[in-house]
Amino acid sequence: MKKSVIPSISLKAGILSAFVFLFASCLPVSQTEPVTAARPGEVLYRENFADNTSGWDRVLNDGGIMDYDSGGYRILVRGAKMNFWSTPPGNFSDVRVETDVTKLNGPDANRAGVLCRYRNGNYYFFIISNDGFYAIGKFTGGQAILIGQESMVPSEVVETDGVNHLRADCIGSALTFYVNDALVASTQDADFATGGVGVLAGSFEEPGVDVLFQNFVVLQP
């Protein structure tokens, strides 16, 4: 089975808005100057979601939930073909973004992942689904485009139950995706050089996607 990019609905400022593209913005990220002169392996940003005032979006309405919950950051997508995402304040260039994501409820045909280099509505995304697929792509000019693949690709390293550890390296034009410490994809794109980081989740045909992100960290590659 292939999973292609599909139309979606996004949540913006607590109001549902219809779009014909994947991964529309939820709320804008606060931009600062890129972090520079960091040592390899240095932690640039870490979030354990213990403080609910640390800058991640807090949304609750008929469309779904994005909020701090149970020592993590929960995204519940109540509708079909919907995508929610959130970015904390900050702006980075080359980064290694890692997080743990757990499916709490809902369909295995879902999507959850991380993003990097968000700026002015554009960004790269790295996603998995709990039925065992992954993809790297970018959102640009109001459209989602998969990079280096025509559709989401199956992989046995994606856990269909329990926790998946995700790692996305955005280094220069190189985009590399690891799932549970295994390299699943590496590709090239030079459109975006700096921007914010964050997490995202979405649904396909079946609503009710419910996931929890924990241990979010951004490192200097």
Please list, in sequence order, all residues whose beta carbon lies within 8 angstroms of the beta carbon of residue 8, skipping any fewer than 6 positions away: 19, 21, 22, 23, 24, 81, 82, 83, 202
pTM, two decimals, is 0.85
Residue 116 placed within a domain: yes
Residue 1 placed within a domain: no
Distance CA 194, CA 185 (A): 21
pLDDT per residue as tens, the chain (221 positions): 445 544 343 432 222 222 223 444 343 333 344 445 689 999 999 999 999 999 999 999 999 999 999 999 999 999 999 989 999 999 999 999 999 999 999 999 999 999 999 998 899 999 999 999 999 999 998 888 999 999 999 999 999 999 999 999 999 999 999 999 999 999 999 999 999 999 999 999 999 999 999 999 999 99
Residue 108 placed within a domain: yes
Residue 2 placed within a domain: no
Q: Residue 72's domain is classified under what CATH number? A: 2.60.120.560
Residue 159 placed within a domain: yes
- Boundaries of domain holding 151: 9-219
